[in-house]
Amino acid sequence: MMEMGSKARAAAEALRGASAETRSAAIRVIAGQIRARAASILAANAEDVAKATRLVDRLRLDEARLEAVAAAVEQIAALPDPLGEEMARWTRPNGLDFARVRIPIGVIGMIFESRPNVAADAAAICLRSGNALILRSGADALASCLAIGEAISAGLEEAGLPADCVQIIPTADRDAVGALLGGLGGTVDLIIPRGGKSLVKRVEEEARVPVLGHLEGICHTYVHAAADPAMAREIVVNAKMRRVSVCGATETLLIDRAIAPALLPPIAAALRDSGCELRGDAESRALVPDIGIAEEADWTAEYLAPVLAVRVVGGIEAAMAHIARYGSGHTDAIVTEDKTAAELFVDRVDSAILLWNASTQFADGGEFGFGAEIGIATGRLHARGPVGPEQLTTFKYVVRGNGQIRP
């Protein structure tokens, strides 16, 4: 493991010297290698699927899905390169010329579970942003990831970059996670964990290097008293049901008391028609009798399933208090025609993404226009929300003078 760290550090050094075009070419070649090695990747994936007992659909690849993986990688090759950008430039009265220049972070350690496409996406995004990557796959997806890793290595070498730019830890040993969280002797600059609560807890306890956390999305859609009824219904159904397994899926519906009698029954009917189970507080169950009972745990549940918690609230202050207490700071939406209420909500709710009259399912790097993402950061520092290539960079100051000394 320590050797992987020093190899990654050397690869990061090589990447800092590689041009945008070299890195783009490498990403394109990797896409080609994924296509060329489809048979062996799918065979490895079949092994993983045969052993899997849960989340099998997340894990499974077929020809169409693998083509989508390769196409997504290719798209990242076409994204604008973030490196070298002058983020700001200014001159001081003493003539010193200051530039803030975008540079790679260095070596990124990523820990993830179940979805083998993450290996390809993360590799491409890290190459786009000039970072070396050490990937630790969960046991479920390990064979698939190692097969994709062979395509990545072959692609890197074909493009003239060190294969060590992307290394996949070849074991599902839990000690490997500990070593990565310890920073591999100071060689890892950033840890990106993507996984369930047990991983999150372990990262919090053991990480000795900065972490860009991707915690759960307990997302709310709040239907305000001044909501347009048809829009509210459409947004709620989409926010919950378009894809229930994404972190931007709404998990709790809050609805104002003033309009709940008129609006909750049709919204509940539309949700039920789309296959969603509802669990509500007493007030919502009084309005729609076939809503089930919500326990306290439902307000903090990330269902990732066709289940929605429902609560009637007394107004915007109560809605914001509910979100402050139970939310995860990921994504929250208000539906209203009242601009003042909307601006209050987006100003006061302290989440990474606030939406007014739109579905929480837009919490996605592609929808933001970032071209790609490796997740949605829920921490407060460095990057919040979708993490694309630009979010995996940092900066340095370059100060150009002509002999200035400080008085």
Contact range with its own copies by CB under 8 A, out of 34-42, 132-140, 201-209, 277-285: 201-209
At closest approach, how far in Å is the CB of 99 from its own copies?
9
- CB-count exposure of residue 216 (10 Å: 0-12, 13-18, 19+): middle
Residue 308: closest CA among 406, 237, 235, 401: 237
Site string for its own copies, 205-234 (x = CB under 8 A): x--x-xx----------------x--x--x
Residue 283: closest CA among 318, 244, 249: 318
Tell me whether residue 47 or residue 204 sits nearer to its own copies (CB atom). Answer: 204
At closest approach, how far in Å is the CB of 163 from its own copies?
22
Gap between the Cα atoms of 173 and 180, Å rounded: 12
Residues 157-196, interacting with its own copies (CB under 8 A):
189-190
For 361, which DSSP code?
A: G
- Quick one: which of 3, 204, 273, 277 contacts its own copies (CB under 8 A)? 204
For 295, which DSSP code?
A: P
User: For its own copies, how many residues bind (rule: CB under 8 A)?
Assistant: 61
Q: How far is CA 163 from CA 135, 151, 178, 280, in A?
A: 13, 10, 24, 53
Tell me whether residue 141 or residue 263 sits nearer to its own copies (CB atom). Answer: 263
At closest approach, how far in Å is the CB of 67 from its own copies?
20
Q: Is 221 helix (H, G, I), strand (E, B) or coil?
A: strand
Neighbours of 212 (CB within 10 A): 24
- Quick one: which of 385, 387, 388, 389 contacts its own copies (CB under 8 A)? 385
Residue 338: closest CA among 218, 232, 219, 220: 232
Give me the helices (H) in 253-315, please: 260-273, 282-287
Backbone angles phi, psi at 54, to 5 degrees: -150, 160
- Quick one: which of 5, 82, 106, 217 contacts its own copies (CB under 8 A)? 106
Gap between the Cα atoms of 377 and 358, Å rounded: 20
> Residues 2, 107: contact at Cβ < 8 Å?
no
At closest approach, how far in Å is the CB of 158 from its own copies?
26
At closest approach, how far in Å is the CB of 271 from its own copies?
14
At closest approach, how far in Å is the CB of 345 from its own copies?
10
242 is a site residue for its own copies (CB under 8 A): yes
At closest approach, how far in Å is the CB of 26 from its own copies?
20
- Quick one: which of 57, 98, 197, 317 contacts its own copies (CB under 8 A)? 98
Crossing angle of helices 38-51 and 142-158, in 10° steps, is: 160
Gap between the Cα atoms of 338 and 226, Å rounded: 6
Strand-pairing partners, residue 134, are 109, 167
Backbone angles phi, psi at 25, to 5 degrees: -60, -45
245 is a site residue for its own copies (CB under 8 A): no
At closest approach, how far in Å is the CB of 294 from its own copies?
24
Gap between the Cα atoms of 154 and 293, Å rounded: 54
Tell me whether residue 286 or residue 398 sits nearer to its own copies (CB atom). Answer: 398
Residues 332-371, interacting with its own copies (CB under 8 A):
342, 346, 348, 350-359, 361-362, 364, 367-369
380 is a site residue for its own copies (CB under 8 A): yes
119 is a site residue for its own copies (CB under 8 A): no
Gap between the Cα atoms of 161 and 217, Å rounded: 37
Tell me whether residue 53 or residue 198 sits nearer to its own copies (CB atom). Answer: 198
90 is a site residue for its own copies (CB under 8 A): yes
Site of interaction with its own copies (CB under 8 A)? 16-17, 90, 92, 96, 98, 103, 105-106, 189-190, 204-205, 208, 210-211, 228, 231, 234-235, 238-239, 242, 342, 346, 348, 350-359, 361-362, 364, 367-369, 379-382, 384-385, 394-406
